[in-house]
Amino acid sequence: MSAFRRSARARPPAEDPASGKARRRASLRIIARVAPYLWPADAPWVRRRVVAALILLALAKVATVATPFFYKAAVDALAPAPDAPQAVGFALAVGPIGLVAAYAMARLMGVGFAQLRDALFARVAQRALRRMALETFSHIHALSLRYHVSRRTGGLSRIIERGVKGVEFLLRFLVFSIGPLALELAMVAAVFAVELDLRYFLVVAATIALYVWFTFAVTEWRVKIRAEMNRQDASASQKALDSLLNYETVKYFNAERREAARYDRSMAAYEGAAVRTGVSLAFLNLGQSLIITAGLGVVMAMAAHGVMQGRLTVGDFVMVNAFIIQITMPLNFLGTVYREIRQALTNMSEMFELLDQPPEIVDRPGAPDLKVTRGEVAFEDVRFGYEPDRPILKGVSLRAEGGRTLAVVGPTGSGKSTLGRLLYRFYDVQGGRVTIDGQDVREVAQDSLRRAIGVVPQDTVLFNDTIGYNIGYGKEGATQAEIEEAARAAQIHDFIASLPQGYETMVGERGLKLSGGEKQRVAIARAILKNPPILILDEATSALDTETERQIQDSLRRLSRGRTVLVVAHRLSTVVDADRIVVLENGEVVESGTHAELLARGGRYAQLWKRQESGEGEGEGEGDAEAAPADEAR
């Protein structure tokens, strides 16, 4: 009870009218953005289907509105008044059986036209959803690495999923529920005004207007209550999940009762919000029933009075009743539909906000493809920082000659891995330039640039698919023979062949079914299959034990032959054979030369070498406190 009282006291403030208007304008803009997907200029067949679906929708509503007329005529034919008007005379001429058949046919046509409309529109709606999902998915891939490291991938996938489902819900209910309902209500009101009396029209119109206002007002209130209930539900679920994931820690500290009490506090808050949700639903249903019953009672009383005065027939009385019941059935779901449409618009807004996010790295108009001749890579006075007030590279200049290996070493946070990201153009430099064979990477097409560069990263993340698929990812359309040849070159073929399912073995999510060394060999095989002229080895063995590292180094040497290689490393033992070694510190080049030259010089490289030889600096470089976003400034 105390939780309920706390929840009841914590009611959100009433919505500001200005913000309500802004929300409505935003909703209209979202609907306007969906419209082109339903009326595409490049697909005339879609437009024809939309027009046909709208015609069928109108026919379905005409049949639905006509149904009570046949019901009225059948009643009048079965119980004619002595002074029956001309319409009743027609009913008698046709006969009760014929009118019942017409009534049944009208009902069937109403349902049949609606189903045909759904069948015609299904392809239109699904095509729109598919195009919207594809556009959003492609746009996410076009966004920069900076955007992705600041957002959770799961959150992005949920935005797409909820946004597309929101569009589907909006199409289904706005086009096939709210729109047809509004058309039917207008037709029924017109029938009452023409066939009966203007007073009937006024009563029906007032009843519907009051019903809609009451439903929307109470639903707005309930939306806030449900939002609070959902927040408390999410809080309770998170606490439960967090506690279960930390099961051992809970046991270490004898905290079972503490965790249970913490979980119960969240559930008590959820209980209070859930009770308010149930009470508000009962209030909504009662209010709706009261309004509809009052309106129905007034209209039926007016019709009964008309029958008693001889102005209406018993069939008219029945027709009025049929019309009122017919329009109240879809109105019963109006609150639910309105709430869901609001949620759908919110989800769609998030998706369109994502679509409006501009890509940071874009090709200039008419950018030519990169032409690799020697494969020479140069960084010329490069300046860069992930944040304006935190420079990472401060005028770095270095050159990797074609077909040679350049190693970049240095302490954590010196900017080693940033060089690879700038070469691959995940980011653009803020000063200086990066070139390949004299071509500024900002001036060539990204697709051609990335085709020319292969990467073996420190942390190899694999798709949750087969080993063969993950190796074949290096080359689109790779044959099985090519995949196996690459696996042999990476010295992983024998291991794969020893598995019961061979190359069809599933690697698990993120490749968790494979060891670190096995994943690295898959990454190497993938790079071999890509066969790029330029290769980046970004701390490719730092996560491995010493023995596995030596085995992987053999595969890396084979992969590096005949290519320009940029090696980022913290274990200096892995770069002793490099043609040139550059030492970075605080974003600046402090030394460069061969392994022997740098040792003879007795400078910073020699210090790092001695520390690692003695085992003091073995772990150096594995973390990165400099990164902004996280882990990007190595």
Q: Give the pLDDT of residue 3.
A: 39
Confirm whether 217 is domain-assigned: yes
**What's the angle, vertex CA 431, arms to CA 428 and CA 434, rounded to 5?**
60
409 with 318, same domain: the answer is no
351 with 381, same domain: the answer is no
Confirm whether 482 is domain-assigned: no
Per residue in 544-562, pLDDT tens? 666 666 777 777 777 788 8
Query: What number is the average pLDDT over the span 391-401?
Result: 91
The average confidence (pLDDT) of the chain is: 80
CATH number at residue 228: 1.20.1560.10
350 with 435, same domain: the answer is no
Query: Is residue 512 exposed (0-12), middle (13-18) or buried (19+ Cβ within 10 Å)?
Result: exposed
Q: Give the pLDDT of residue 624.
A: 40
400 with 346, same domain: the answer is no
Domain count, the chain: 2
185 with 263, same domain: the answer is yes
197 with 338, same domain: the answer is yes
With b meaning 16 or more CB within 10 Å and e meaning fewer, what string describes 537-548?
bbbbbbbbeeeb
Question: Does a cis peptide bond (omega within 30 degrees of 0) precede residue 85?
Answer: no
Written as six digits, the tokens of 49 are 């289907």
383 with 254, same domain: the answer is no
Confidence of residue 5 (pLDDT cuts 50, 70, 90): very low
Pairing of strands 453-456, 534-538: parallel
Nearest 5°: phi and psi at 566? -110, 110
Is it the case that residue 435 has pLDDT exceeding 90? yes
User: Where is pLDDT greater, at 544 or 46?
Assistant: 46
Confirm whether 371 is domain-assigned: no
What percent of the chain has pLDDT above 70?
86
Written as six digits, the tokens of 507 are 């690697």
Written as six digits, the tokens of 387 are 């944040």
Q: Give the pLDDT of residue 344.
A: 78
Q: Give the pLDDT of residue 20.
A: 58
Contact 538, 417 (CB under 8 A): yes
User: Where is pLDDT greater, at 625 or 147?
Assistant: 147
Confirm whether 479 is domain-assigned: no
274 with 393, same domain: the answer is no
228 with 337, same domain: the answer is yes
254 with 394, same domain: the answer is no
Written as six digits, the tokens of 203 are 């009563």
Identify the sign of the CA torsion 548, 551, 557, 558. negative
Q: Give the pLDDT of residue 307.
A: 84
User: Where is pLDDT greater, at 370 or 228?
Assistant: 370
Query: What number is the average pLDDT over the span 118-143?
Result: 83
CA atoms within 13 A on the CB side of 24: 8
Query: What number is the average pLDDT over the span 607-614?
Result: 84
Confirm whether 5 is domain-assigned: no
Strand partners, 581: 407, 593
Three-state DSSP class for 64? Answer: helix
Confirm whether 471 is domain-assigned: no
CATH number at residue 575: 3.40.50.300
Q: Give the pLDDT of residue 618.
A: 45
Full DSSP string of 455-500: EE-SS----SSBHHHHHHTTSTT--HHHHHHHHHHTT-HHHHHTST
Query: What number is the average pLDDT over the span 103-107?
Result: 86
Confidence of residue 444 (pLDDT cuts 50, 70, 90): very high
Place of tokens 């019901």: 71
Which residues, including other chains, have CB under 8 Å from residue 314's CB and lie 6 or more apart?
75, 76, 79, 81, 307
Confirm whether 507 is domain-assigned: no
Q: Give the pLDDT of residue 41.
A: 78
Contact 307, 72 (CB under 8 A): no
Query: What number is the average pLDDT over the span 82-94?
Result: 52
What is the span of the domain harbouring residue 210?
A: 24-355
Q: How far is CA 598 from CA 231, 567, 580, in A?
A: 60, 17, 10
For the ranges 38-42, 198-202, 541-545, the maximum mean pLDDT occurs at 198-202
Radius of gyration of the chain (CA): 36
Confirm whether 48 is domain-assigned: yes
Element (H, E) at 156: helix 153-170
Per residue in 516-550, pLDDT tens? 788 888 888 888 888 899 988 887 776 566 666 67
Strand partners, 576: none
Q: Give the pLDDT of residue 94.
A: 60
Is it the case that residue 512 has pLDDT exceeding 90? no
Greatest alpha-carbon span in the chain? 125
Q: Give the pLDDT of residue 393.
A: 92
Q: Give the pLDDT of residue 79.
A: 67
Is it the case that residue 439 has pLDDT exceeding 90? yes
Q: Give the pLDDT of residue 93.
A: 55
Sheet with 431-436, strands from edge to edge, namely 393-400, 377-384, 431-436, 439-440
342 with 392, same domain: the answer is no
Q: Give the pLDDT of residue 544.
A: 63
Closest CA to 396 of 591, 125, 559: 591
Confidence of residue 7 (pLDDT cuts 50, 70, 90): very low
Is it the case that residue 84 has pLDDT exceeding 70? no
Q: Give the pLDDT of residue 9.
A: 39
Q: Give the pLDDT of residue 149.
A: 64
Separation of alpha carbons 157 and 163, rounded Å: 10
Q: How far is CA 53 from CA 50, 169, 367, 395, 500, in A?
A: 5, 17, 45, 64, 54
Range from 282-296, 575-589, 619-633 carrying the lowest mean pLDDT: 619-633
71 with 210, same domain: the answer is yes
Is it the case that residue 285 has pLDDT exceeding 50? yes
